[in-house]
Amino acid sequence: MSAAPLDVLEIRRDFPILNRPLETGRHRKGLLPAFLDSAASAQKPHCVIDREREVEEQFYANAYRGVYYFGARVDEELEASRAAIGRFVGAAPEEVVFTSGTTMSLNLIARAWGGKFLQPGDEVLITDMEHHANIVPWQMICAERGATLKWLPLTDDLRLDLDQLDAYLTPRTKLVAVTGMSNVLGTINPVAEIAKRVHAAGALFAVDAAQSVPHLPVHMRSFGIDFLAFSGHKLFGPSGVGVFCAREDLLRSMSPFLGGGHMIDRVWKDHSTWAEPPAKFEAGTIPIVQAIALHAAIDYVTGLGLNRIHATEEALLRYAHEKLTTIPGLTIHGPAMEHKGAICSFTIDGASAEDLASLLDVQGVFVRHGHHCTMPLHDRLGIAASVRASFAFYNTREEVDRLVNGLHFALDRIHSRS
Partner 1 sequence: MSSTSSMNLDDLIQEFDDLGDWADQCELLIDIGRDLPPFPDEFRTEENKVHGCQSNVWMVADVSESDPPRIELRADSDAMLVKGLLTIILMTYSGRTADEILSIDIQRIFQRLGLHRHLSTARKNGLAGMVKRVREIAARVRS
Smallest gap from residue 187 Cβ to partner 1 (A) = 24
Instruction: Decide: is 132 part of the binding site for partner 1 (CB under 8 A).
Output: no
Only one of the segments 10-18, 23-31, 66-74, 166-174 lies at the binding site for partner 1 (rule: CB under 8 A); that segment is: 23-31
Instruction: Decide: is 23 part of the binding site for partner 1 (CB under 8 A).
Output: no
Given a contact cutoff of 8 angstroms between Cβ atoms, the answer to whether 309 and 302 are in contact is: no
Smallest gap from residue 363 Cβ to partner 1 (A) = 8
Specify burial of residue 350 (Cβ count, 10 A radius: 0-12, 13-18, 19+): exposed
Smallest gap from residue 361 Cβ to partner 1 (A) = 9
In the range 358-417, which residues lie near partner 1 by CB under 8 A? 358-359, 362-363, 369-370, 384-385, 413-414, 416
Instruction: Decide: is 273 part of the binding site for partner 1 (CB under 8 A).
Output: no
Instruction: Decide: is 354 part of the binding site for partner 1 (CB under 8 A).
Output: yes
Per annotation, catalytic residue among 142, 245, 344, 373: 373
Instruction: Decide: is 22 part of the binding site for partner 1 (CB under 8 A).
Output: no
Smallest gap from residue 354 Cβ to partner 1 (A) = 4
Q: Nearer Cβ to partner 1, position 121 or 350?
A: 350
Smallest gap from residue 345 Cβ to partner 1 (A) = 15
On the CB side of 18, CA atoms within 13 Å amount to 24
Only one of the segments 45-53, 59-67, 215-223, 357-365 lies at the binding site for partner 1 (rule: CB under 8 A); that segment is: 357-365
Whether 344 is catalytic is no
Q: Mark residues 25-44: x for contact with partner 1 by CB under 8 A, - for none.
A: xxxx----------------
Q: Nearer Cβ to partner 1, position 72 or 375?
A: 375
Instruction: Decide: is 304 part of the binding site for partner 1 (CB under 8 A).
Output: no
In the range 141-170, which residues lie near partner 1 by CB under 8 A? none
Smallest gap from residue 416 Cβ to partner 1 (A) = 7
Q: Give the CA angle between residues 216, 235, 357 to the nearest 5°.
A: 100
List interacting residues with partner 1 (CB under 8 A).
Answer: 24-28, 352-355, 358-359, 362-363, 369-370, 384-385, 413-414, 416
Catalytic residues: 373
